[in-house]
């Protein structure tokens, strides 16, 4: 039994485990992939952290303005005002930030933004993930990599651990813990095209949703306009700031300072060449908009507490309201680090004060469910449903939405659930059964997609990145957050209780 268990080995999960350990808790981390292969490693540009108090105030104001009036002021202020401290802590952990002399350098992360982001060339995410992982290993935090959480253990309304499946062996077992921090990343693979890695399967929001926790802000989904065609690689908006131009669906460096681009974006140039064969310094690279950021997640307080005692969430699967209705470049990493640290500390304090009955009985049920899935057909039909879901969401719950499109998406999601119930892993193999993983991920993606479409249907206005063609204007009467819970009659969407009057 651990005091606290983190699900997810990205930047948020690693930061949470370190915070819990520093608070004296016995902390462990469980992740579907090796932490150093988490999606966080793809972050190119940087983490907002203005040096001056004035800069931090300006960041808070811009964050709130971008969020279109629905972000809780206390969350925005606490994250922005603490940003520079969070970066100093990362620096002390050994993050190799670029420097001007002895001072951590700051750069723009968007063409029109202030130079306020700390960065490591164009591999900030890789450098931070490796630094935090090294710290976690050094602190003696047990890391169970290639273990997939398949359900949360909730006894008498308290979260007491998870049941997880080991990818290498097919073993299913309970991990008992006095508190759990979900840091399992986003649900971007519910859309196609997207910039997501395979593991952005929405498992964090889905596990919480199934266990009875509320989700929030699920209608807000942000596209990246500069994604390498067919390749999921999001190109930095800074390329445009450095003089690159969009022409007929391609990005071209005409007029750009190529020497500056070569020195600031060496890894980007390498990846574009490797993935598409285009030498961006010479030729145009075709780009397209792709789903990049889901702004909602498990409904949590500023300390990461969900609606289930003992269950916390951080990073991209958490919805503390920081982004509001639209996120600001450089703020995603910032809130992942900030929310990881605060959820880890809060979970450690909770874990120290409570006990737990264990997840043995639930593990037996999950074992049976896995055995049954191993004997059902799968593979191609599961992949086809997953592809169809992603196209459906892009078409009907993407950059523009309407009641008709969202209603038909919800109907199809419901029938896809019934079709999935007839399917399974497509093979009885116990070791590295990726058919089983695909099947489980499809279930999570369907749950996340349902919560997103239902929330988007409920918000009858356009706000931030949520654009309704049938309600094109922002409505001041709807300047509140929506939360969604699972019920026997389908998703129940209502005004967030903190704001309901
Ligand atoms: C190309 C790109 C560039 C970006 N650039 C920036 C930037 O410059 N600045 C910025 O602020 N933000 C940026 N972002 C956003 C930022 O990357 C994310 O918001 C942040 O990294 C999310 O971290 P996380 O720890 O929440 O999730 P992740 O890094 O996705 O980690 C999730 C972890 O959970 C694990 N997991 C998932 N499901 C399960 C399960 N069921 N059981 C166990 N483990 C599970 C995964 O294996 C992984 O270890 C960028 C994103 C992309 C794609």
- Which tens digits make up the pLDDT trace of 103-158? 999 988 887 788 899 999 889 999 999 999 999 999 999 999 999 999 999 998 99
Residues 214 and 139 in one domain: yes
Asked, for residue 51, whether it belongs to a domain, the answer is yes
Asked, for residue 496, whether it belongs to a domain, the answer is no
pLDDT of residue 355: 57
Our answer on whether the CB atom of 441 is closer than 6 Å to any ligand 1 atom is: no
40 CA → ligand 1 middle, Å: 4
Residues 303 and 426 in one domain: no
* DSSP one-letter code for 465: T
Asked, for residue 492, whether it belongs to a domain, the answer is no
Point out the ligand 1 atom lying closest to the alpha carbon of residue 233: 1
- Overall average pLDDT of the 363-377 stretch: 96
- Which tens digits make up the pLDDT trace of 1-21? 899 999 999 999 999 999 999
Residues 158 and 27 in one domain: yes
Residues 126 and 46 in one domain: yes
| Nearest-5° Cα angle at 2, 344 to 166 | 100
Ligand 1 mutation pick, 6, 11, 40, 66, max ligand atoms within 8 A of CB? 40
pLDDT of residue 19: 98
d(CA 369, CA 151): 12
Tell me whether strands 147-155 and 158-166 are parallel, antiparallel or unpaired. Answer: antiparallel
428 CA → ligand 1 middle, Å: 31
41 CA → ligand 1 middle, Å: 8
72 CA → ligand 1 middle, Å: 23
Asked, for residue 21, whether it belongs to a domain, the answer is yes
39 CA → ligand 1 middle, Å: 4
CATH code assigned at 317: 3.50.50.60
DSSP letters spanning 317-385: GEE-STTTTSPPTTHHHHHHHHHHHHHHHHHHHHHHH-----SHHHHHHHHHHHHHHHTS-BSHHHHHH
Residues 448 and 460 in one domain: yes
Residue nearest to atom 21 of ligand 1 (CA): 40
pLDDT of residue 353: 56
Asked, for residue 194, whether it belongs to a domain, the answer is yes
Give yes or no for a contact between 138 and 18, defined as CB atoms under 8 angstroms apart: no
Neighbour tally for 475: CB within 10 Å? 12
CATH code assigned at 472: 1.20.58.100
> Can you say whether the dihedral through the CA atoms of 20, 26, 31, 37 is positive or negative?
positive
Our answer on whether the CB atom of 239 is closer than 6 Å to any ligand 1 atom is: no
Point out the ligand 1 atom lying closest to the alpha carbon of residue 33: 47
Point out the ligand 1 atom lying closest to the alpha carbon of residue 8: 34
- Which tens digits make up the pLDDT trace of 267-316? 888 988 998 888 988 888 889 888 988 999 999 999 999 999 999 999 99
* 198 phi, psi to nearest 5 deg: -55, -35
Our answer on whether the CB atom of 163 is closer than 6 Å to any ligand 1 atom is: no
Residue nearest to atom 9 of ligand 1 (CA): 330
Residue nearest to atom 38 of ligand 1 (CA): 184
Residue nearest to atom 19 of ligand 1 (CA): 332
Residues 351 and 431 in one domain: no
Give yes or no for a contact between 412 and 236, defined as CB atoms under 8 angstroms apart: no
377 CA → ligand 1 middle, Å: 31
Residues 369 and 471 in one domain: yes
Our answer on whether the CB atom of 462 is closer than 6 Å to any ligand 1 atom is: no
pLDDT of residue 267: 84
Asked, for residue 495, whether it belongs to a domain, the answer is no
Our answer on whether the CB atom of 32 is closer than 6 Å to any ligand 1 atom is: yes
- Overall average pLDDT of the 196-220 stretch: 92
Our answer on whether the CB atom of 46 is closer than 6 Å to any ligand 1 atom is: yes
Containing domain of residue 265, as a range?
229-286
With a CB cutoff of 8 Å and minimum separation 6, the contacts of 282 are none
Asked, for residue 102, whether it belongs to a domain, the answer is yes
Residues 33 and 145 in one domain: yes
d(CA 208, CA 213): 5
Residues 219 and 238 in one domain: no
Higher pLDDT, 177 or 197: 177
Q: Tell me the H-state helices in 224-299.
A: 238-241, 258-264, 266-276
Given a cut of 70, whether residue 461 has pLDDT beyond it is yes
Residue nearest to atom 20 of ligand 1 (CA): 40
Our answer on whether the CB atom of 184 is closer than 6 Å to any ligand 1 atom is: yes
Stated pTM of the model = 0.95
Tally the C-alpha atoms within 13 A of residue 324's C-alpha that lie toward its C-beta: 24
- Overall average pLDDT of the 191-218 stretch: 91
Helix axes 83-93, 124-138, angle to 10 degrees: 60
Tell me whether strands 285-294 and 245-247 are parallel, antiparallel or unpaired. Answer: unpaired
Residue nearest to atom 50 of ligand 1 (CA): 43
Cross-strand partners of 27? 4
Number of structural domains, the chain?
3
Point out the ligand 1 atom lying closest to the alpha carbon of residue 316: 26
d(CA 176, CA 5): 8
Our answer on whether the CB atom of 41 is closer than 6 Å to any ligand 1 atom is: no
């Amino acid at each position: 039994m651990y005091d606290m268990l983190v699900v997810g080995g990205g930047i948020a999960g690693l930061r949470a485990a370190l915070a819990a350990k520093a608070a004296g808790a016995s902390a462990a981390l469980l992740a579907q992939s090796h932490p150093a292969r988490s999606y966080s490693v793809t972050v190119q540009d940087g983490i907002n952290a203005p040096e001056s108090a004035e800069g931090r105030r300006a960041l808070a104001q811009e964050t709130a303005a971008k969020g279109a009036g629905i972000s809780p002021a206390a969350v925005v202020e606490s994250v922005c005002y603490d940003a520079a401290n969070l970066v100093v802590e990362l620096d002390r952990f050994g993050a190799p930030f670029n420097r001007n002399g002895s001072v951590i350098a700051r750069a723009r992360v968007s063409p029109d933004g202030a130079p306020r982001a700390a960065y490591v060339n164009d591999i900030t995410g890789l450098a931070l993930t490796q630094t935090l992982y090294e710290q976690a290993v050094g602190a003696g935090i047990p890391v169970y990599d290639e273990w997939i959480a398949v359900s949360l253990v909730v006894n008498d309304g308290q979260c007491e651990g998870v049941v997880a499946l080991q990818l290498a062996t097919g073993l299913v077992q309970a991990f008992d813990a006095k508190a759990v921090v979900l840091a399992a990343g986003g649900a971007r693979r519910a859309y196609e095209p997207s910039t997501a890695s395979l593991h952005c399967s929405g498992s964090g929001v889905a596990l919480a949703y199934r266990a009875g926790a509320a989700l929030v802000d699920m209608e807000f989904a942000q596209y990246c306009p500069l994604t390498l065609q067919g390749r999921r690689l999001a190109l930095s908006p800074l390329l445009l700031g450095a003089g690159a131009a969009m022409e007929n669906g391609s990005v071209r460096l005409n007029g750009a300072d190529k020497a500056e681009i070569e020195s600031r974006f060496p890894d980007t140039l390498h990846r574009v060449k490797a993935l598409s064969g285009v030498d961006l310094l010479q030729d145009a690279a075709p780009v397209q908009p792709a789903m990049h950021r889901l702004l909602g997640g498990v409904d949590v307080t500023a300390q990461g507490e969900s609606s289930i005692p003992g269950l916390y969430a951080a990073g991209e699967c958490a919805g503390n309201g920081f982004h509001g209705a639209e996120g600001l470049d450089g703020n995603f990493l910032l809130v992942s680090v900030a929310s990881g640290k605060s959820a880890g500390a809060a979970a450690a304090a909770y874990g120290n004060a409570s006990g737990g009955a264990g997840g043995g009985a639930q593990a037996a049920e999950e074992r049976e469910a896995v055995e049954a899935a191993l004997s059902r057909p799968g593979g191609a039909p599961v992949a086809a449903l997953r592809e169809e879901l992603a196209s459906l969401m892009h078409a009907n719950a993407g950059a523009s939405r309407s009641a008709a499109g969202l209603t038909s998406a919800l109907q199809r999601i419901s029938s896809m659930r019934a079709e999935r119930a007839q399917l399974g892993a497509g093979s009885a193999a116990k070791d590295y059964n990726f058919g089983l993983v695909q099947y489980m991920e499809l279930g999570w993606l369907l749950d996340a997609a349902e919560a997103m479409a239902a929330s988007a249907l409920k918000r009858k206005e356009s706000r931030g990145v949520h654009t309704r063609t049938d309600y094109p204007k922002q409505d001041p009467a709807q300047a509140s957050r929506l939360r969604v819970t699972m019920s026997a009659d389908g998703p129940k969407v209502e005004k967030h209780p903190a704001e309901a009057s």
